[in-house]
Structure 1
Amino acid sequence: MSYIYINEQGSEITVDGGRCVVTKPDGMRRIIPIETIEYVSLFGNIKITVPAMQMFMKNKIPVTLYSKTGNYFGRIMSNENCNIIRQRKQFKLSGETEFSLELSKRIINAKVHNQRVVLMRYAPTEKKEEVRHIIEQMKLAVKNIDKCTSVSQIMGYEGIAARHYFMGLSKCILPEFKFCGRSRRPPKDEFNSMISLGYAMLMNEIYGAVEGKGLNVYAGFLHQDRERHPTVASDMMEEWRSVLIDSMVMSLINGYEVEKSGFRREENGVFLDDKTFKIFLKKYETKLRTSTGYLNYGDEKVSFRKALWLQASKLAKAIDEEDCTLYEPIYIR
């Protein structure tokens, strides 16, 4: 099964005899059998006909819409995955509840652990001691999380740890890509441009996994309710940000796979040019398809994409049983 990413502006998606046809502005056509498609992601000015849309919905293939620079707009898909019994329990457990509090502690403890592991992996030899000091500061920031009595307290400690974490990453990156903290909407540098794009795409992956389990993506536990924001996807994304996106971007930069000249400045922000965008998409898809044995699934090797779905299954079970300890976040080694 394939994930289709289309970012060539002016392309058009049509249907021909049960096959998906992607026509580029220069007239070149790519024909894809519908049974081989699992997801479709469109970036920017991509045309799609109503018959093509109907074909995707009939075959339960989500279509995700992004801006040209990767801002997430929304999804188009069939509505066959709603589990109202599970959602009623979810609504009862979300908000300021003991379930939300304890689940949030589990998620943030895992997130900060994974950030520390990523820092040590990418710390250059001459910066090891400096990075170790930053990791100690992160440990101090979250040592009282288990004593927190509200989700807002947890998020406060998490914010302190995050500032130290991004400070550490900036010391592990090639000098020409050095950045000063997290920036978004718009991203102010090349590093932030890539992780913003990656987070938007990862959000969509988790959105699909959550919705596939019949959950409501807008009734979260860690993140506060926000109009049109899929807070459950944000909750589940926390443990994966450093594991999947931050480490991937560090690999792209420190592995000399992208160049500083492969970005453009516009609207007070920094964005990937077409060539770098394609490199990023290929790296992202390769990462999600990679099988690994270091996740906590026993001896079984699973792809990162499958792991996202397995985590959604754990969350669904925790909600069904009203027991947050059934949700075991990912801890990398």
Structure 2
Amino acid sequence: MRAGGAVGWCPQLGASDDPGRAVTFGRAVVTAKLSNQAVLLHRSRRQERHDQVDAAILGLIRSIDTVAGATSRDEIMGAEGAAARAYFAALGALLPAPLRFATRSRRPPLDVINSALSFGYTLLLGEAVTALTAAGLDPAIGLLHTPADRRPSLALDLIEEFRPYVVDQVVLHLARTGRLGLEHGSEETDRAGVLLNREGRAVLIDAYEQRMATVTRSALPGFTGSIRRHLHRQAQRLAAWVERDVPWDGLEWR
């Protein structure tokens, strides 16, 4: 699977069009994402928020069981979506009072934290596109996220398991340490929503870069490196799975 020739794309197209392979991959990706979300909530619990957070963690665990029995992309995405609502409500509850939110908002983000999450995911998505291209995969041909015009669907697949471990943790830490606040948001005059201002983006980029440079050794047996290297390694492992059916699984941090 190398760029530059139609023949090279066949294995990836075949995997994308094969419901069985797509579901196998989707289960692994979403299971890892849900597990990493549960770990983040557990590590970030506060005494006064235990009940809500604990309930969200139990919901994530139940969703993992649901995903394990899923037989289609739609079932997997449905379980992930249901878990996401409780997860983001719990994540919002862990924020300082002025920054708390009850639900994830995207287009447009309605507060500073949602804006920071969206901006962070965009940074991560760009890196995933680069990693997949370097591994010889087409970032647009997704397995879990179905291909769509102008959308890097496979890159969206790849970042799922990294979202909570990288972006969510960074944004939560910045908010709880006072480095990200209401002053970092600016309301759009031509449409509803809140965007990070220049200072807010700088704060987030700096913390994101530090996070991606963090060295870890707990996610892949026998592999030690920065989180950025793990992202590239997962892209390489995914290419091997697509081309040669080498076993692939998601990264779960403890």
Q: Per the shorter chain, which TM-score range?
A: over 0.9
Q: 2:232 maps to what in 1? A: 309
Matched, 1:260 2:154: no
Compute the displacement of 1:259 (Å): 2.2
CA RMSD of aligned residues (A): 1.6
Whose radius of gyration is greater, 1 or 2? 1
Instruction: Tell me the secondary structure at the aligned position of residue 149 of structure 1.
Output: coil
Compute the displacement of 1:148 (Å): 1.6
> Structure 1: how far apart are the matches of 2:80 and 2:194?
27
Conserved in 1, the CA contact under 8 Å of 2:33 and 2:161? yes
Conserved in 1, the CA contact under 8 Å of 2:141 and 2:154? yes
Matched, 1:152 2:152: no
Identify the match of residue 115 of structure 1 among 37, 49, 67.
Answer: 37
Compute the displacement of 1:165 (Å): 0.5
Q: Write out aligned runs for 1:203-222 (5 A).
A: 203-222=125-144
Identical counterparts, % of pairs: 29
Compute the displacement of 1:81 (Å): 4.9
> Structure 1: how far apart are the matches of 2:205 and 2:123?
10
Matched, 1:101 2:23: yes
* Structure 1 residues 213 and 312: CA distance shift in structure 2, 3 A: same
Q: 2:49 maps to what in 1? A: 127
Q: 1:322 maps to what in 2? A: 245
Which runs of structure 1 show a deviation greater than 4 angstroms over 4 or more consecutive aligned residues?
Answer: 80-86
Instruction: Tell me the secondary structure at the aligned position of residue 194 of structure 2.
Output: strand
Opposite residue 309 of structure 1, the aligned amino acid is H
Q: 1:5 maps to what in 2? A: none
Q: How many residues align?
A: 251
1:66-113 Cα offsets, whole Å, 9 max, x none, are: xxxxxxxxxxxxxx9547554211111113421111111111111100
Conserved in 1, the CA contact under 8 Å of 2:111 and 2:185? no
Compute the displacement of 1:328 (Å): 1.9
Conserved in 2, the CA contact under 8 Å of 1:187 and 1:269? yes
> Structure 2: how far apart are the matches of 1:103 and 1:165?
22
1:19-70 Cα offsets, whole Å, 9 max, x none, are: xxxxxxxxxxxxxxxxxxxxxxxxxxxxxxxxxxxxxxxxxxxxxxxxxxxx
Q: 1:332 maps to what in 2? A: 253
Compute the displacement of 1:246 (Å): 0.4
Q: 1:172 maps to what in 2? A: 94
Conserved in 1, the CA contact under 8 Å of 2:23 and 2:144? yes
Q: Write out aligned runs for 1:8-23 (5 A).
A: none
Opposite residue 306 of structure 1, the aligned amino acid is R
Conserved in 2, the CA contact under 8 Å of 1:99 and 1:322? no
Structure 2: where are the runs of 5+ without partners? none
Conserved in 2, the CA contact under 8 Å of 1:81 and 1:212? no
> Structure 2: how far apart are the matches of 1:141 and 1:105?
11
> Structure 2: how far apart are the matches of 1:97 and 1:133?
33
With normalisation by structure 1, the TM-score equals 0.72
Q: Write out aligned runs for 1:277-316 (5 A).
A: 277-298=201-222, 300-316=223-239
Conserved in 2, the CA contact under 8 Å of 1:138 and 1:160? no
* Structure 1 residues 277 and 127: CA distance shift in structure 2, 3 A: same
> Structure 2: how far apart are the matches of 1:157 and 1:264?
34
1:267-286 Cα offsets, whole Å, 9 max, x none, are: 21111122222111111111
> Structure 1: how far apart are the matches of 2:68 and 2:56?
21
Q: Which has the higher strand share?
A: 1
* Structure 1 residues 198 and 137: CA distance shift in structure 2, 3 A: same
Instruction: Return the structure number with greater relative CO, CA threshold 8 A, min gap 6.
Output: 2
Matched, 1:140 2:53: no
